[in-house]
Each structure stands twice: as C-alpha cells, then as structure tokens.
Structure 1
Amino acid sequence: MNLEKLKPGVVEILQKPDIEINEKLKNLCQYLQDNVSYYNWVGYYFANHDNQTLHLGPYVGAETDHTVIPFGKGICGQVAVSNQNFVVPDVAAQDNYIACSITVKSEIVVPLFVRGENIGQIDIDSHVIDPFTESDERFLEFVNKEVAKLY
C-alpha cells in the first residue's frame, strides 16, 4: 500500500469549503477506511483536559460503546497521557487494552496536536495482526497535521 498516494485526497477532503468540521472528519475517516484495506475502524477521540477524558468524535466502522475513555485507560487513554504514537501489533498481548470487538486484532493511535497541545487522536483498528508500519505512523502524522489546520 502506497500511503503517499492518499495524501492529495486527504488535503482535498479537509479543504472543502462550506462543510462543517465533523462532516469533514467523518469523510476523512471514510476515505481512509475505503482506501487502506487493513483500516477496519477509523475514528477520532477528542480530549477534555478538565475531566481527563476522551470523547468519541466522527468515526466509521462498527458501533462502539467506548464513547468516553478516561486518560490512561486503554490504548487511546495511554496516548492522551504519553503524547506519543502507540502501535499495538496484537491487542491480545496488551494488558491495558479495551476490547471493542473480537474481530479487532491490532490498533494504531496517533495524537492530534494543535498549537502544541494534544487535543485528541486518530484511532484505527484492524482485523489483521501486525499490519501497521512506520509508513502508517508517518502518514497518520501527516493526516493529523492537516486536520490541525482546521482548529
């Protein structure tokens, strides 16, 4: 998968005028899921720093009960604290993992920074064990830099 080829589509989606930010993010999630075979659930969580919680934003994929996640809990909650990318090749090997579905085998979470503050993250689940590479990390960092321009 050449993720570089997807960059112009990311920019196009996010720069469309007269579309609300949540719709742009939902369209972006759909674009990523449609174009990367192992991206089976794609969504954004946004931080409430006062309450130390993450709140589910736009996403595509199976419904989830995890609409609010405390900082430190699960992969997303750990990224809210560490401010670092987190790649989980096999969720079954993770102690602090919140199971969304038995079909999820791996996960990648990349923080979203706006003016130096971690305001949220993109979260991607896969039904494949260990599909995420450094290319995915760099690509999702690019995606989030483009998303940050909306804030």
Structure 2
Amino acid sequence: MPAVGLILFSAQQTGALWSDTETLPGATITAGTLDIGVGAGSFTLGSFGQTGLAVGGYSQTPLTVKNTGDVPTRYRLTNVTQSDAALPLTLTVWEVANESACPASGDPTGAATQLYDGNMIGASTELRPALQAGASTVLCLRGTVGTGAGGGLASTTTFTFDASQV
C-alpha cells in the first residue's frame, strides 16, 4: 500500500557572542566569537521535502555548515524531532566533499563519511573535527520512509546543532 510522506526540514543554529580581555602576569587571554550557521535564524530546507513517498522512498539533500565565528569550532547534530511521530522515518547523514556530491537520488559520490544511520527522532552525531573560522563542510541528509507508514501522513522535522569552541 503506498504511503504518502512529507519531510520538511528546519535547522536551528546555535551561537554565542562574547568578548573579554583579562591581563594576567605573563599572558593575555582573549575570547572570540563562536557561531555556526546553516541560514538566518530558523532555516527551512525546502528541497528536503517530498510527497507521495512509499515505504523505502526517500528525500536527500545537502546542508552546508559554516563556521561564521572567528575561533575554531566543533559542532554536532544533537537532536531531531518530528511533528508527527506516527510517520516512521530513518535518517542517514554523510559528510561529503561538496554539495554536488549529494545528489537528489542515489548514494553520495566521491569520498563520503557516514556519520549517522538510524531513527530520525533523537538522531545525533559525535562532535566533528574543528572547523576553522570561515571554513565550511557539507552534510548529505537522507530521510527514508520506514516500514509501517500509513497513507496520508506528513511530518515536519527539526534538526538541532550544538557548537563548542576549540
């Protein structure tokens, strides 16, 4: 029986802005700006949505994560939520060389490192190696409709990322 699935994407970025200088005997410590970005505020990735997906059908799209701060930053996906948990979705996340290495269909091309493969709800990854200030990396996200999906279901997914200064 065909299932109808709709996967929408909303990413939340995290950031902290602080600056302080303290003079200590023999040294000066200065903090910088810590910020990762995937868009302005709440970011909708419309290309991640699909309609009319049956069990095993998927939507796949790249997501560029950029260190928009001025200090080296590590980041990780910390959680994924769905607006309708009745729609069984799985998530696969790869780190790829560039956006073109994450086609809309088929496996990522070139060197791809798989970071996660499991349930969409509660998905998280380990901390990624530091991104230098101004640097970016590309994640390839695949949401797949799981077994037991009924017809007419739709869900919006929200991805939450955390960042930490190196």
Q: Which is richer in strand?
A: 2
- Structure ID, larger Rg: 2
Q: Same fold (TM over 0.5)?
A: no
Question: Scaled by the length of structure 2, what TM-score is found?
Answer: 0.26
Question: Scaled by the length of structure 1, what TM-score is found?
Answer: 0.27
Q: Which is richer in helix?
A: 1
